[in-house]
Amino acid sequence: MKYLSEFADPDLARKLLDEIAATVTRHWAIMEVCGGQTHSIIRHGIDQLLPEEVELIHGPGCPVCVTPAESIDRGVQIASKPNVIFCSFGDMLRVPGTSRDLFSVRAAGSDVRVVYSPLDAVTIAEDNPDKDVVFFAVGFETTAPANAMAVHQARERGITNFSALVSHVLVPPAIEAIVTSPDSRVDAFLAAGHVCSVMGTRQYEPIAEKYRVPIVVTGFEPLDVLDGIRRAVAQLEAGQATVENAYERAVQTDGNEMAQRMLDDVFDITDRQWRGIGEIPASGWRLTEKFRDFDAERRFDVLDLEVAESTTCRSGEVLQGLIKPSECPEFGVTCTPRHPLGATMVSGEGACAAYYRYRRSGDVAATGG
């Protein structure tokens, strides 16, 4: 398949790996920010093939996993109300809130639907004028333009029974939160290509400069990720710290300006809770005043809902590579994939879930970092 197999070519991968091995002289910790990158790394076993000196730290960039329990709880509350059709991307249905997930709300008889595009939810609203249709707008800058477009179109088309439960999160503040953490071990970041295809790469320049940390924008195929690692290692070895675009086939410096204008119109920056990490200032989007009538939190009066995240969860430290999952006293005891306390156990991309899963073979010591 054109443009799929080419980016997984084993011979080219070997060349990149050889180049990384020839360049590296000491230990470097590189965080891939996005869950899509983590997915590719796990899928292809890239971390097993890198020289020992290069450590990959899996970042917080899985939108499903960092969506805070309070947002899920709001979704559960709204979806449980009579006369509501609650629409969501499929994988959000499985995320546990404080006590329930959306699947169990659906099992209890509520109308919870999987949509593949936010615009489908607008159509559902148009087709069901006697129902309140709510779309769960989550994700990073990647999913935001389409979600913004759904709200915008609902307003243009006068569809008043549509609203959005918005829990968007932003990548640059998260990178800044990680890099300024006093114990941060991250030497370089692989930034998410899809986020940058929307937002461009300029937002990252002040971060790279201020904190002296290389940031390489990558795609998601194995060669994309490997090339990103190669460039990050080269920068680190040369003492450089710049923003580099290793995903030029999709990312332009200024990003998608039309999408950005739409985002500016529909969303305002707000503080946001991140599951397992806590509140990061100015790290999310909410609807602007212009679109307040489409805000499900106001419409259903669930704004005051406060949720206590687990106080015993140490996933924030795991995410920064400060402790290994098995060093957490809750690991495998009160915290399991069935009853996760934090993001890293919720998602299979998370280090805790990976550790937990591997214990099955009875050789925990061999799991490495």
Partner 1 sequence: MWRRPVADIQGANCPIPFRDSDRVTIAHGGGGQLTQELIRELFLPAFGEAAAAATPTDSAVVRIGDERVAFTTDSYVVRPLFFPGGDIGKLAVHGTVNDLAVAGARPLALSTAFILEEGLEMEVLNRVAASMGEAAIEACVQLITGDTKVVDAGLADGMYVTTAGIGVVPAGVDIRPNRVVPGDKVVLSGPIGLHGTAVLSVREGLEFGTDLQSDCAPLNGLVSSMLDTCPDVHMMRDLTRGGLAAGLCEIAETASVGIHYEESAVPVPPEVDAACGFLGLDPVHVANEGRLVAFVSSTDADAVLDTMRSHELGAEAVIIGEVTADDRAIVVAKTSLGAHRIVDLPLGEQLPRIC
Residue ranges binding partner 1 (CB under 8 A): 1, 4, 8, 10, 13, 34-36, 38-39, 42-49, 62-65, 89-96, 100-101, 103-104, 106-108, 114-117, 120, 138-140, 142-143, 194, 222, 337-340, 346-349, 353-354, 357-358, 360-361, 366-368
Output the smallest distance, CB 268 to partner 1, in A.
22
> Do 178 and 59 touch, CB atoms closer than 8 A?
yes
- Of 67 and 235, CB closest to partner 1: 67
Q: Are strands 278-287 and 267-274 parallel, antiparallel or unpaired?
A: antiparallel
Output the smallest distance, CB 9 to partner 1, in A.
9
- Of 296 and 352, CB closest to partner 1: 352
- Of 56 and 208, CB closest to partner 1: 56
Output the smallest distance, CB 63 to partner 1, in A.
6
- Of 258 and 365, CB closest to partner 1: 365
Output the smallest distance, CB 96 to partner 1, in A.
6
Output the smallest distance, CB 145 to partner 1, in A.
13
Give CB contacts under 8 A, 24+ apart, made by 327-333.
Answer: 328/352, 331/355, 331/356, 332/356, 332/359
- Of 133 and 138, CB closest to partner 1: 138
Report the C-alpha gap between 164 and 137 in whole angstroms: 6
- Of 38 and 320, CB closest to partner 1: 38
- Of 214 and 276, CB closest to partner 1: 276
Give strand ranges (E) for the chain: 28-34, 54-61, 84-88, 111-114, 132-139, 162-169, 188-192, 215-218, 243-245, 267-274, 278-287
Report the C-alpha gap between 149 and 162 in whole angstroms: 13
Output the smallest distance, CB 33 to partner 1, in A.
12
Check residue 135 and report its DSSP letter. Answer: E
- Of 270 and 367, CB closest to partner 1: 367
Output the smallest distance, CB 143 to partner 1, in A.
6
Output the smallest distance, CB 368 to partner 1, in A.
4
User: What token pair was written down for 179?
Assistant: 């890099």
> Do 311 and 293 touch, CB atoms closer than 8 A?
no
Report the C-alpha gap between 280 and 269 in whole angstroms: 12
Amino acid at 136: F
Q: Is 258 exposed, middle or buried (0-12, 13-18, 19+ CB in 10 A)?
A: exposed
75-106 exposure pattern, b = at least 16 Cβ within 10 A, e = fewer? bbbbbbeeebbbbbbeebbebbbeebbbebbb
- Of 26 and 339, CB closest to partner 1: 339
In which order are the strands placed within the sheet that holds 162-169? 111-114, 84-88, 132-139, 162-169, 278-287, 267-274
Output the smallest distance, CB 90 to partner 1, in A.
3
User: What token pair was written down for 353?
Assistant: 């879930």
